[in-house]
Chain A
Amino acid sequence: MNAGTAAAGAKPTTPRVEKPEAGPLREVWLRFLERPSAVVGLAFVVALVAIAALADVIAPYDPFATDWGAVRSPPSLEHPFGTDEVGRDLLARIIHGARASLAAGLTSVALAVVLGLPLGLLAGYAGGIVDGAIMRLTDALLAIPFLILAIALAAFLGPSLTNAMVAIGLSATSIFVRLSRAQVLAIKAEEFIEAARAVGNPPWRIALRHILPNIVPAILVQATLTIAAAIIAEASLSFLGLGQQPPAPSWGSMLNVAKNFLDQAPWMAIWPGVSIFVAVLSFNLLGDGLRDALDPRQRR
């Protein structure tokens, strides 16, 4: 990278007093590259997205095509991952299943951020009754454990991937309310916000121009880690039969079926689990790497 790209990559950020400034994007990127685990995480996430996007092209078989002549056949050259209880190719189903997992992870977290961030900003910035009301609502949502709320919502909304995503998104909202509120409170106390207020900036302007850019890094890190949790949540709901509905492929529902054939066809249980594990691990590694890169103070 030469000096020109460095200048282009330098994004002016509002100076922060307490935490060291995230710094120009290039520095963040270089710090990110320093950690092999973070780079591996990023590479896997990119690969995962590519697999999901190109599923139709790269899948060796139609994920719905049954083959009664090859029911529960173990991994072979013809079917590298083996086949399931109705002879569908597991590799093709794993590849197509990536779509459900990624879609659920990204959509539900996007929903949670879109709902949670403004609420958190409002609570932290407004304080008083507004803050109290928002926080009690958040506490109440938090009191109902993630998956239990998601199951209850899926139960009442009816089981489908869309409803699962909505349920996961709603349950994850409170995380972002709390996070953005805490960040706002911390930043609000800092001097440059005082200064911005002193020169007569209206509150909404302070919130959007001065506070929001400063909490983006924290939100980004949390969002990445929450995607990991959301992928597990989607797989869990699908495993319980409350997410992706058969015959559409999803790693969770594949495991649900595989559970019944453990002694005869263990491969049916191994591949979907490995896929979930790798996807979740990748997002976790990426999130940890982002946190370290964005906030060098916390580095080990």
Chain B
Amino acid sequence: MLRFLARRLAIAVPTLVIASMIIFALQQLLPGDTATALSGEERDPEVIAFIREKYHLDRPLPVRYVLWAKGVLQGDLGESIRLQKPVLDLVAEKLPVTLQLACMAMLIALIIGVPMGVLSAVKQGQTADYVANGIALWGLSIPNFWLGIMMILFFSVYLGWLPASGYVPPSESLIENLKAMIMPAFVLGNAIAAVMMRHTRAAMLQVLQSDYVRTARAKGVAPLAVILRHCLRNAAVPIITLGALEFGQLLSGAVLTEQIFSVPGFGKLMVDAVFNRDYATVQGVVICTATTYIVLNLMADVAYFLVNPKLRRA
């Protein structure tokens, strides 16, 4: 277990370092004088001087990266010039909202995607399979921001059942919070559900053809029990690892969904920051996203390790 973890870490750490370099290098893309550009709307010489000082703009690039990375490691993601707040505080404030959205979306994706994938694999080549594949293709092809708009049109404008926007923290009213979050979560989960369906179908097809499933059937195990006891546990491995890879897609989608439903999360923070030319915040959000993604994949590897008895004891 430890050796396995060490090996995964040996891949994850350099990946994270390179990702941070890329994110740092984004600054260099800014046209003109970096300090002026970084200050965004502000033209106050004092602010520009502060930035020059803060980002050590008089030092060579590699040194600046090291100083910046050191700060990031200590939790200093920079300062939002616009909001006059440390980026870390902003992220910490918005992250729970996005996490709630992402978890709800993932849950919806699993609830829809996994049974559909199982059904489609079990009924391979039959009508149910084609229908499930059709739905998945629909889910993959529909732009989720448009789906969001259409849902607002239907459920908020036409039926008036759900609020079109307006986030309520769960601490205030859980019901209102769920009412505000259900549409964005569904919109976000929709595309992932299609992907999960495809992964589940592929994994199940492979498992269904395996010899041990035939053994189970030869033992007289009922079809449903074959699927639940014998297949899903083995199919779970690829579903978990591939599912974790979808988390990136989830965060990408969250940016749009939050924008449409005005959910004050991570993605909205980023888009607002882009328009406010609040570059430190953009960088901060990206670095947090990348870290989350890498950590999640590491966790998926560990989960993979745990559900696979062969790896666990060997």
Contacts and interface: CB of A to CB of B under 8 A. Distances in A.
Q: How large is the interface on B (under 10, 10 to 19, 20 to 34, 35 or more residues)?
A: 35 or more
B15 A269 contact: no
Contacts of B294: 143
Interface stretch (B18-26, B55-63, B168-176, B223-231): B18-26
Contacts, number: 145
Given A148-B286, A156-B279, A142 B18 contact: no
A236 interface: yes
A263 interface: yes
Contacts of B152: 262
Nearest to B124: A300
A241 B275 contact: yes
B141 A284 contact: yes
Interface stretch (A6-14, A111-119, A188-196, A275-283): A275-283
B251 A148 contact: yes
A136 B18 contact: yes
Interface residues of A, number: 47
Contacts of A263: 157
Nearest to A239: B145
A235 B145 CA distance: 9
A101 to B, nearest CB: 11
B149 A273 contact: yes
Interface in B145-160: 145-146, 149-150, 152-153, 157
B146 A276 contact: yes
A259 interface: yes
Interface in A135-152: 136-137, 139-149, 151-152
Contacts of A235: 143, 145
Contact of B26 (A156, A228, A266): A156
B255 A147 contact: yes
Contacts of A273: 143, 146, 149-150
A152 B26 contact: yes
A258 interface: yes
A195 B65 CA distance: 48
6 contacts: A143-B15, A143-B290, A145-B289, A146-B249, A152-B286, A277-B141
Interface of B: 11, 14-19, 21-23, 26-27, 29-31, 124-125, 129, 137-138, 140-143, 145-146, 149-150, 152-153, 157, 164, 248-249, 251-253, 255-256, 259-260, 270-271, 273-275, 277, 279, 282-283, 285-286, 289-290, 293-294
Interface of A: 136-137, 139-149, 151-158, 228, 232, 235-236, 239-242, 255, 258-259, 262-263, 266, 269-270, 272-273, 276-277, 280-281, 284-285, 288, 300
